[in-house]
Structure 1
Amino acid sequence: MSMTKIATVNFETSMDKQANRAKMVDFIEQAGAQGCNLVVFPEEALTGIGEAGFVAVSAQDKLGIYSNSELVPEGESTQMFIELAKKHDMYICWGMAERDPERDFAYHNACVLVGPEGFVGRYRKTHLVLTEGFYHFPGTEFPVFDTALGKVGLYVCYDMCFPEVTRILANKGAELLISVTGWPNVTGTDDASGHTEYMLFQKARAAENMVPIVVSTLCGQYLEGHSMILGATAGKVIACGGYGEEMVVGEMDVQREIVEARMLSMGGTDLLRDRRPNLYGELVEPNAFNPAYNVDPRGC
């Protein structure tokens, strides 16, 4: 068991991809200078979210996001971050609009992970919120990646509201979860419902899976910030930022976090061990709220 030093960034994005990337490089250099093993940037940090964010989107925003999208891993930005990962012997994770190589004018809300070994993988957001489905195609898979940090699972923003996502990742052996988000906070205060929801969902996902989570969140007008590093034990916050743009750094022993959570917390109760999956078949049945959702509405 060994310590992992992690940087997670409160990041204010824009529709200027070059400026976003330059700022990300600055944070990566800072994280490298501090000896970090992992640095994480939020949802769509590289490519921007448009003037109205995810709640509403104009035709101009859709065009701007598409113009900023890139292929993964062959795109310019992914290749640049691979070189920086090799330079600093670290893993870099970020959110971006990923252009779909098989569909014209289509793109995904993706989370990309690279490391000293090169391209590790990407996850495409599966749960699209509000108008987001008008300009992103949903993902359909929940990959877990082998890295020097351990087995890593990724998820994006609204995915946090669906416990099935992180449970699948934990079931597949994920030892560290990374969540990139652009969670809203309309008033920019701790008493806003957005802040309460964000903290509740992320802490619940760590607690119920007994897995540590690194969260990176967009900041700025109407956005939550509060990038944080959560331990595997219920309620454990290793480091947490505020509302402004900043890099939050913390350390943890990933394996020890899991061992302590599953052997010492809750009287030694292991929530993954005590599952009864043979009883859960009804979870995949259509329900009264979305009776036809056994078929992907975008045909993906």
Structure 2
Amino acid sequence: MTEIGISVAAAEFGRDMEQAYATIGDLIERASAAGSALLVLPEACLGGYLPSLGGDDETEEERGRRLRRLPPALELDGPELRRVIEMAGDLVITLGFCEADGLTRYNAAVTLHGDGILGSYRKVHQPLGENLCYAAGDAYNAFDTPVGRMGMQICYDKAFPEAARTLALDGAEIITSLSAWPTARTAPAENMASDRWKQRFDIYDRARATENQVVWVASNQAGTFGSLRFVCSAKIVGPGGDILADTGIRAGLASARLDVQEEIAAIRSGGMYNLRDRRPEVYGDVVAENHVTGTLLSPEQRPSATRKVPSHA
């Protein structure tokens, strides 16, 4: 059993790539000074997020202006990520960016260190308007790293318990949730701490950690970008749902030290081992929902409730 340090950032990132590298460099120094082995940066920290989410109420002029202001599309093996790899050294870093796959764009995340890329992810769940700019990913996969087995999510993904559960069942001990999570779009609270979207952000973080009994590390953008004002609130949540470190509603770096495997083992041996005690044979309607309309499939269309479940699940 080994104790490791984890740091997570609420930080401001825009289109200026050189400023982004400077901010990343500063956060690497601060995380290293804190003795951390893992640093989690926000969604879209290389090139910034979308200036607005857009939607059906846009005029053609507004839509054209928004599409001209998209973040740069970067390739996994391109020089931009190579530069961060060279900065990382022994530190494991998770960060978000806009990934180019030919002419297709994805809202993506990558985990890397000085030896290269350890894992990559394309955002699956898209909030209103994001699908106008990005294609959706289609998989959740855990992967091994020097700090343990990890999984990644981006922003709106945290609202879907199936996403975190899939990673936990694939053995993820640490799930990183990178966000550009803003205040409420309508009637935002004057005091950000009371904003209903900020409160929702915090509820999801603690719930996903608790129900899967994993270490949950949630980063977020800070400041403003376009029409969006971000709630910060980067945090590290233990497998029992306790907040180990939190930036609150300000930009900053939250750090904590813990023995990940020992903490998880202690929670799971306490009488509630959520992954072990699942009953997937009775969850038919959950996995049989029509993914387009959200309506339930007919009994004839649903998978058999007697299907076999892997013994490790």
TM-score, normalised by the number of residues in structure 1: 0.88
SS in 1 for 2:151: strand
Give the C-alpha shift of residue 293 in structure 1: 10
For residues 55 and 7 of structure 1, the distance between their equivalents in structure 2, rounded to whole angstroms, comes to 33
The answer on 1:22 being equivalent to 2:22 is: yes
Alignment deviations for residues 197-237 of structure 1 (CA, whole Å, 9 cap, x no partner): 01111110000000011110111132110100000003x01
Alignment deviations for residues 21-61 of structure 1 (CA, whole Å, 9 cap, x no partner): 22112211222233320111111111112433x36684334
Alignment of 1:91-170 (within 5 A): 91-101=92-102, 104=103, 106-170=104-168
Alignment of 1:194-205 (within 5 A): 194-205=197-208
Greater fraction of residues in helix: 1
Q: Using the TM superposition, name which of 270-279 and 57-66 deviates more.
A: 57-66
Give the partner amino acid of 2:16.
D
The answer on 1:217 being equivalent to 2:220 is: yes
Give the partner amino acid of 1:47.
G
For residues 127 and 12 of structure 1, the distance between their equivalents in structure 2, rounded to whole angstroms, comes to 23
Give the partner amino acid of 2:119.
G
Of residues 241, 248, 251 in structure 1, which corresponds to 2:247? 241
Q: Equivalent residue for 2:269?
A: 263
Aligned residues of 1:10 and 1:244 also touching (Cα < 8 A): yes
SS in 1 for 2:181: coil
Alignment of 1:167-186 (within 5 A): 167-185=165-183, 186=188
Give the partner amino acid of 1:163.
P
Give the C-alpha shift of residue 173 in structure 1: 0.6
SS in 2 for 1:39: strand
For residues 223 and 157 of structure 1, the distance between their equivalents in structure 2, rounded to whole angstroms, comes to 12
Aligned residues of 1:212 and 1:232 also touching (Cα < 8 A): yes
SS in 2 for 1:190: helix
Give the partner amino acid of 1:69.
A
SS in 2 for 1:93: strand
Of residues 201, 226, 241 in structure 1, which corresponds to 2:233? 226
Give the partner amino acid of 1:176.
I
Unaligned residue ranges in structure 2 (runs of 5+): 56-61, 298-313
Rg larger for: 2
SS in 2 for 1:51: coil
Give the C-alpha shift of residue 280 in structure 1: 2.0
For residues 41 and 55 of structure 1, the distance between their equivalents in structure 2, rounded to whole angstroms, comes to 25
Aligned residues of 1:9 and 1:40 also touching (Cα < 8 A): yes
Alignment deviations for residues 9-28 of structure 1 (CA, whole Å, 9 cap, x no partner): 11112122222222112211
Aligned residues of 2:34 and 2:255 also touching (Cα < 8 A): no
For residues 8 and 177 of structure 1, the distance between their equivalents in structure 2, rounded to whole angstroms, comes to 12
Give the partner amino acid of 2:95.
W
For residues 237 and 159 of structure 1, the distance between their equivalents in structure 2, rounded to whole angstroms, comes to 20
C-alpha root-mean-square deviation of aligned residues, in Å?
2.1
SS in 1 for 2:6: strand
SS in 1 for 2:143: strand
SS in 1 for 2:278: coil
Give the partner amino acid of 2:267.
A
The answer on 1:62 being equivalent to 2:67 is: yes
For residues 22 and 63 of structure 2, the distance between their equivalents in structure 1, rounded to whole angstroms, comes to 26
Give the partner amino acid of 2:105.
Y
Give the C-alpha shift of residue 244 in structure 1: 2.3
Give the C-alpha shift of residue 287 in structure 1: 4.5
Q: Equivalent residue for 1:298?
A: none
For residues 47 and 121 of structure 1, the distance between their equivalents in structure 2, rounded to whole angstroms, comes to 20
Matched positions, count? 282
TM-score, normalised by the number of residues in structure 2: 0.84
Unaligned residue ranges in structure 1 (runs of 5+): 295-300
For residues 69 and 126 of structure 2, the distance between their equivalents in structure 1, rounded to whole angstroms, comes to 19
SS in 2 for 1:255: helix
Give the partner amino acid of 2:177.
S
Alignment deviations for residues 171-198 of structure 1 (CA, whole Å, 9 cap, x no partner): 0111111000111124352211111101
CA gap 1:288/1:39 in 2 versus in 1, 3 angstroms: closer
Q: Equivalent residue for 2:75?
A: 71
The answer on 1:272 being equivalent to 2:275 is: yes
